[in-house]
Chain A
Amino acid sequence: MNTQQVPSSLRNLLGDVFEIEPEEVTPDLSVGTIENWDSFRHLQAILAIEGEYGVQFDPQRIPELTSVAVLLAELEKKGAVL
């Protein structure tokens, strides 16, 4: 996979949350691949995504949304316009 598959709005958003360059946001970016993606940044990322795309995740799903690919899939399922 390459960065082209992550929409730029999500790349910018996660770049801000994890303090990395948007170009570094690839689908395989996940908890464990970068130090900054810890449990609290995870919550920040989720909240920011919800605010940005006007969606709400099921709280039980939130702990499982731990990679960009999974997040993208979940957003698609919610019908979010990225």
Chain B
Amino acid sequence: MEHESERQSLRQSIKTSIEQKSAVSAIRDARRLVYISSKAVDVMFCASAFGRVSDAIHAQVGARKLKAFVVRSVTVEPIVPFISVEGVLSNYLLEIRMGGFGSYADELLNPNSALAEFKPDVVMIVLDLEEIAGRLPELCGDGIGAGVGAEIEECVSRIDRLLKGFRGLNDARIVLQGLVMPDRSSLGDVADANVGNSLTYAVSRLNDGLAAVCRSIPDCVFFNVDQIAARFGRARFRDARMFLASRLAVSQEAFRVYARGLVRSMSALFRAPRKVLCTDLDNTLWGGVLGEDGAGGIITGSSFPGNCYLSYQTYLKELSSRGILLAIVSKNNEEDVQEAFRVRAGDLAIDLNSFVARKINWDDKSQSLRSLAEELSVGLDSFVLVDDNPVECEAVRQQHPEVAVIEVPVEEPWNLVEVLGEQDFFDAPVVTIEDANRGKDYKAQAQRAQVAASARSRDEFLGSLGIVCTFQTAMEAPLARAVQLLAKTNQFNLTTRRRSAGDVERFASADGGQAVVVRVRDRFGDVGAVGMALAQNRGEACYIDSLLLSCRVIGRGIETALLAHVAEQAQQNGATRLVGEFIATKKNAPCARFYLDHGFVKRSSTSADDADSVYYELDLAESKLSTPNWITLEGETSHEYAAGTVFST
């Protein structure tokens, strides 16, 4: 066997790493091992190895510990080691608990069920067609399908009630697995494709219905297992023998792709997507080397091989349209690049304006990336670099391990889009209006910077922006955006608590609770919902659980307006003191002095169980907290923005 000796040596070095409790090298070697080997036992070997060093994995690579409960009507157990291993490779330590066969309704809806007692972070719901819509095959059998539509509706609404009922009891995030398309019904391929109510058609509608249910439930994602099966080959994906004998629906050879798909769907519930894609130019955005071949000589356009690069350019444009920021990082001369974009505009699917920033120089790329991160106020762990030069890729991997580096398959440029598509770093279960507008925001940002450069003072500059803030409760604003902010904001985030939609709802609806979202616009554009706060009155005091602001709008007094708003609401709810909390992270230094700067006093006593928290207190009666005068507030009258509060100072 081609890889046998590498396989043996990887297994040996994993063993050694485990003995030395070295998680980093164990994970690196395991990633390689499961890549080169198709043997199930190698995955079990890795699962067992990881199991022995789970503490080291948590401590050394910061893998997130998650408790996952699998609610199911089929056999999943043999796939568990595969799910665990894919989990570790995606930086999760999963503790997986299985539910009983067919007891899923009780597990989900009974507040004293084994599931409830396990207190899972995520629930994976794996039901088969028989369980979800057992009558469908028979109803579709005649191809006429009287009652098929009604049956689908009934099944979808049953799942809807089940999940909403569960959500009422439990905050665990939900992954709902869809159904694999049936193959070879009694109608035969031709009728299956042509009659209106074939089982294929019915299952596809059922999947659409289930996906819609997931969209309507907070912290819930639809796992389209059919996509995985279709990509792998549905005939190879299922195993009729093992399904009929042991209710194991997935064939062993598909365990890996299945587990990877499941973990990838789950991951989107726990991790924010990366924000910036930096692309190299030569042999990446186009073929050839601009400096050698000239603007006329670079390869791009509608015929082969230029169209390989054209599809990559189109892919980038699509990413940009949903808010992924594009940047150029290239060793070239700026004038040459401008000329290439001008001369070859007809052969390029993308123009220079699509890039929010560019580093075209002869610096090393690690340096360029670092300065881009500063310029865009985005952490390097939100960066992706696409580059054809293996040496530069390796240098960036070493200097900035947090950057995701994609090496262009130079010999196979037609595969670049495929390689990018395999990656999960841009996965997001929802796309918000704010995402779609992000590119525009960054351009407006550049215009603001120009105004700032010409303004005589900070106040004059801020006054000239014409900032308008609107406060909404998080229930009025799109909840998805509120949760996205909680998940993504790192720098101006006082406590960095990744609260779920359920948590936000609780703050919004609790007596004396607040879940406030601030929307911001100015004369350059509408940046949308960019900040939020969660707070709760307890007795005389109001405790601020979370307060955060997107880094794009820091330093314009919006943070002060938000705090003043929270204070105002707290007072109306009967509080006399406002208590702020700060938890330092690697990234949130910019807001370390936030409460001190607003007249809060540091509280001396901290209890042992929240040693990371620093508390600050403000006496609301004596506070001079108010919205800066260059900000106009807008909002419903029910929010009682007294004119005096709004325009004081």
Interface set of A (CB-CB < 8 Å, partner B): 12-13, 16-17, 19, 40, 43-44, 47-48, 50-52, 56, 59-60, 62
Contacts and interface: CB of A to CB of B under 8 A. Distances in A.
A16 B42 contact: yes
Contacts of A51: 39-40, 252-253
Nearest to A56: B241
A13 B248 CA distance: 21
A44 B245 contact: no
A44 B45 CA distance: 12
A59 B245 contact: yes
- Find the residue from B48, B77, B78, B248 having the highest chain A CB count within 10 A: B78
A44 B241 CA distance: 15
6 contacts: A13-B41, A43-B248, A48-B41, A48-B44, A50-B252, A59-B246
Contacts of B253: 51
Nearest to A47: B252
Contact of B40 (A12, A44, A62): A44
Closest 9 CB pairs of A and B: A59-B245, A16-B41, A40-B77, A47-B252, A48-B40, A16-B45, A44-B78, A19-B48, A16-B44
Interface of B: 39-42, 44-45, 48, 75, 77-78, 81, 241-242, 244-246, 248, 252-253
Contacts of B77: 40, 43-44
B246 A43 contact: yes
B44 A17 contact: yes
A62 B75 CA distance: 16
A12 B41 contact: yes
Given A13-B41, A43-B75, A51-B39, 19 more contacts: A16-B44, A19-B48, A43-B78, A43-B248, A44-B44, A44-B77, A47-B40, A47-B242, A47-B252, A48-B41, A48-B44, A48-B252, A51-B40, A51-B253, A52-B39, A56-B241, A59-B242, A59-B244, A62-B245
Contacts of A47: 40, 78, 242, 252
Contacts of B48: 16, 19
B135 to A, nearest CB: 27
A59 B41 CA distance: 21
A59 B242 CA distance: 8
A18 to B, nearest CB: 9
